[in-house]
Amino acid sequence: MRKRTYQEAYRASLQTPDAFWREAAEDIDWFEFPRAIRSDDGNGVCRWFEGGKLNTAWLALDRHVAAGRGDEVALIYDSPVTGVVERFTFARLVARVARVAGALGDIGVHKGDRVVVYMPMIPEAVIAMLACARIGAVHSVVFGGFAAPELATRIDDAKPKVVLSASCGIEFQNVLPYKPLLDEAVRLAMWKPGRVVVAQRPQCPAELDPERDLDWASWEAAGQPVDAVPVDAWDPLYILYTSGTTGKPKGVVRDNGGHAVALNYSMGAIYDCAAGDVYWAASDIGWVVGHSYIVYGPLIKGCATVLYEGKPVRTPDAGAIWRVIAQHRVNVFFVAPTAFRAVRKEDPEALLQEGHDITCLRHLFIAGERLDPPTYEWLKRIVDVPVIDHWWQTETGWAISAKMMGVADADARPTKAGSPGHPVPGYDLRILDEDGRELGPEQEGNVVLKGPLPPSALPTVWQDHDRYLEAYWSRYPGFYLTGDGGYRDADGYLYIMGRVDDVINVAGHRLSTGELEEVVAAHNAVAECAVVGVADADKGQVPLGLVVLKDGVNLTPTALRDELVQLVRRRIGAFANFKRAVLVPRLPKTRSGKILRATIRKLVDGAAFKVPSTIEDPATLDEIKTALGGDEAR
């Protein structure tokens, strides 16, 4: 695609989208080029590249081998928790993916079937995703930190023929057996997958059920390599569940064609990467960042990607990031702010950078939560490359707003603290007030995207199109609701100030307070509760439970808190960081009995708020303040 200035690209994408995205589509290899660039799918949803035939795994691997790059490195597995560093060339990776794809066929997985992947950050996880893509099966990766009931919910929704897993994950020095969680999830789920394949790890081999379970190594060895099958551009590549405002996660559907085109475009235009570069996204394959920028984006572009099974700190120290960048000659690094806050806490002067040559690094990209100005300023002080905040969501699969480093005039717009830059081509971004009126500079409101959305954005929610329409398109017809609040300044820079709904962001992990409330409310001492996110210096936000006890319950606040903490860990996972529960006599409600969550959120966060005119009893707000004061004093 021709390199344009940012303004040229942005304008072209909105004024002549068909021509713009046709040009982007010509940059990937199709088995059959699409017969249309944009079409209506019959449900009123704009879909991209109708009639195009391609294969995403083939784009990510085979085409680089065919271009003579088979001996170049595609995947670098770096695992400080096991002491292993292993490199896979494109040729080696394609051979394993083709064999696993064949082995999937042997256990009855075919085009369109779903496969749940519940795995730690090991090469088999990447191979699993690409093997599914190779045969047109739809993967649904579930973050390894989720507890059994969350995995069960996703199994019931995706209805997989097979689950691919591993015997354990490793968190710092702790070995976490996966198999008991997986067995429990399958027991809880109504839907029973026919087969479970387990990659055995020496740290904690799992016991296999001879009727249902297979050992990955022998299963893969018996598989016969198969070629990539052509799929339609509109065929789903994956489902990725994300938290919404209710307890039930939403299955975001990603199609093959739009996704491949958008990611390929983003790798050049946003990240300024070319084939042969080394790209490292320090996320987890269970999140969208892992899907887009550990697996598909870099490989489609022909870059080497780093799969890091470690943490920014304590594996073994706060110099881990610098060590990985230097050792693997990383050119572009992408991470969540919380990771650098953890590093800053332990090594405020970045002394552990000493001895690591990080001159290979060209850009540092940040996303997952707001890059708070103090962390931004600290990063600018300790690294000598552009620090770029960019904003996106599971639903889009790539950045909505960024400073684009691969446009012709990348230096024309300096970064500003607290801002993820300007909207990326394809996204017609607006700020609306509660009544749908467009707001001007410096006015904060709901951040929305005027339809149609660009390639890669979700066309539906898995098996629930009504929910797609309701969650994203009903609030302001014709506009996609991002769920984030923010404003633009006089120079058009965007500022994302946080969620305006019941979603919270804990250490870059997206969680629904509704889901947490369901768990807390399930405790037999709890009459009712509200869970809200409160600002936290390390994690961005952490959940806080406000709990009303049933009459006659005899539990100390500490005992109740400990039980609730354990309950959330068992039902959702430790990564939810639910550690605080405060007893209150009542919850603030409207006269019609609705809990005033938005008001509670602002109150506990110390933000300014107006007491709603609909409140039944304003004294309930003072009761919360008193309870929080008492909790802090303890």
DSSP 406: T
- Of 16-24, 187-195, 385-393, 560-568, which segment contacts ligand AMP by CB under 6 A? 385-393
Nearest CB to ligand AMP, comparing residues 231 and 367 = 367
The residue count of the chain comes to 634
Nearest CB to ligand AMP, comparing residues 118 and 480 = 480
**How many angstroms separate the CA atoms of 445 and 629, rounded?**
31
Out of 158, 206, 432, 507, which residue is the one contacting ligand COA (CB under 6 A)? 507
Alpha helices in 329-412 (DSSP H): 337-346, 373-382
Out of 420, 421, 454, 455, which residue is the one contacting ligand AMP (CB under 6 A)? 420
Least separation in angstroms between residue 61's CB and ligand AMP is 26
Q: Does 568 bind ligand COA (CB under 6 A)?
A: no
Burial class of 528 by CB neighbour count within 10 A (0 to 12, 13 to 18, 19+)? middle
Nearest Cα to 532, choosing from 467, 617, 597? 597
> What track of x and - describes contact with ligand COA for positions 141 through 180 (by CB under 6 A)?
---xx-----------------------x-x----x----
Other C-beta atoms lying within 10 Å of the C-beta of residue 610: 7
- Of 127-135, 167-175, 309-317, 366-374, which segment contacts ligand AMP by CB under 6 A? 366-374
Q: Does 14 bind ligand COA (CB under 6 A)?
A: no
Nearest CB to ligand COA, comparing residues 343 and 404 = 343
The residues in 486-525 that bind ligand AMP, with binding defined as CB under 6 A, are 496, 499, 505, 510
Tokens of 2: 């021709």
Question: Which H helix or E strand runs over 9?
Answer: helix 6-15
Q: Collapsing DSSP states into helix, strand and coil, what is residue 475?
A: coil
Q: Does 425 bind ligand AMP (CB under 6 A)?
A: no
**How many angstroms separate the CA atoms of 157 and 151, rounded?**
10
β-pairing, 162-166 vs 174-177, is: unpaired
Strand-pair partners of 545: 531, 581
Nearest Cα to 312, choosing from 2, 519, 554, 81? 81
Nearest CB to ligand AMP, comparing residues 219 and 392 = 392
Least separation in angstroms between residue 336's CB and ligand COA is 4
> What track of x and - describes contact with ligand COA for positions 228 through 267 (by CB under 6 A)?
----------------------------------------
- Of 384-392, 452-460, 477-485, 502-510, which segment contacts ligand COA by CB under 6 A? 502-510
- Contact predicate 268/332, CB 8 Å: no
Question: Which H helix or E strand runs over 258?
Answer: helix 256-269
Q: What's the N-to-C CA distance of the chain in angstroms?
A: 61
Out of 132, 288, 299, 621, which residue is the one contacting ligand AMP (CB under 6 A)? 288
C-alpha torsion 511→516→485→445, nearest 10: 160
Pick one of ligand AMP, ligand COA, none as the site partner of residue 145 (Cβ within 5 to 8 A by kind): ligand COA
Q: Does 312 bind ligand COA (CB under 6 A)?
A: yes
Pick one of ligand AMP, ligand COA, none as the site partner of residue 577 (Cβ within 5 to 8 A by kind): ligand COA
The residues in 246-265 that bind ligand AMP, with binding defined as CB under 6 A, are none
Q: Does 319 bind ligand COA (CB under 6 A)?
A: no
Nearest-CB residue for ligand COA: 368
Nearest CB to ligand COA, comparing residues 146 and 468 = 146
Least separation in angstroms between residue 576's CB and ligand COA is 8
**How many angstroms separate the CA atoms of 104 and 233, rounded?**
22
Amino acid at 295: V
- Contact predicate 225/98, CB 8 Å: yes
Q: Does 223 bind ligand COA (CB under 6 A)?
A: no
Own/partner pairs, 548-551, CB within 8 angstroms, 24+ separation: 548/583, 548/584, 548/585, 548/586, 548/587, 549/525, 549/583, 550/524, 550/525, 550/526, 551/527
- Contact predicate 457/258, CB 8 Å: yes
Q: Does 367 bind ligand AMP (CB under 6 A)?
A: yes
Out of 48, 241, 287, 376, which residue is the one contacting ligand COA (CB under 6 A)? 287
Could you write out the DSSP letters of every residue in 582-621? EE-S---BBTTS-B-HHHHHHHHHT---PPPTTBS-THHH
Pick one of ligand COA, ligand AMP, none as the site partner of residue 484 (Cβ within 5 to 8 A by kind): ligand AMP
DSSP 438: B
Nearest CB to ligand AMP, comparing residues 482 and 513 = 482
Amino acid at 84: V
Out of 34, 483, 543, 573, which residue is the one contacting ligand AMP (CB under 6 A)? 483
Q: Does 367 bind ligand COA (CB under 6 A)?
A: yes
Residue ranges that bind ligand AMP, judged by CB under 6 A? 242, 287-288, 367-371, 389-394, 420, 482-484, 496, 499, 505, 510
Residue ranges that bind ligand COA, judged by CB under 6 A? 144-145, 169, 171, 176, 283-284, 287, 289, 311-312, 336, 338-339, 342, 367-368, 507-509, 539, 574-575, 577
